[in-house]
Amino acid sequence: MKIDFEKLIVAGHSFGAQTCISVAARDPRVKACLALDPFLLATEPEILNGTLKVTVPICVINSENYHSDLYANKNFDSWKCVKTFCDKNTSLSIENVTIKTSTHFDMFDLMTLMPLEFMTTTKV
């Protein structure tokens, strides 16, 4: 199998989702982007002033509780940041999906790989 580095699809979770959005906005080799529960604090200024533009198809999947928990930080409105990013984007196709009653840890499979002891001793 040969990888075509001129036609990349990027995906990430949390800060990795913010990273894949930033890469998709800046690297013309990226052809699509999947962002799972993006933590957008690092790119908030670019998002709010409309300079972070992704021009490839992008799917943003949010857990309902993660962004609500981040909203408790009065200096960063995560929901507003995600909505503004989606509203100001010039992407050919953008989907912004929220999974009700889900949490940040529902967005990746690491918890299925961890021993039961970790899951019972960690507040998730």
Closest CA to 54 of 14, 99, 95, 16: 95
Fold of 8-121: Rossmann fold (3.40.50)
How buried is residue 51: exposed, middle or buried, by Cβ count under 10 Å (0-12/13-18/19+)? exposed
For the chain, the domains span 8-121
Over the chain (124 residues), the average pLDDT of each successive run of 10 is 90 94 96 93 91 93 79 74 88 86 76 53 50
| Residue 67 confidence (pLDDT) | 73
Q: Is the dihedral of CA 46, 16, 25, 67 positive or negative?
A: negative
The structure's pTM equals 0.80
- In this structure, the dihedral spanned by the alpha carbons of residues 85, 68, 100 and 49, taken in order and rounded to 10 degrees, is -10
Q: Which residues contact 104 (CB under 8 A, 6 or more apart)?
A: 14, 37, 63, 65, 66, 69
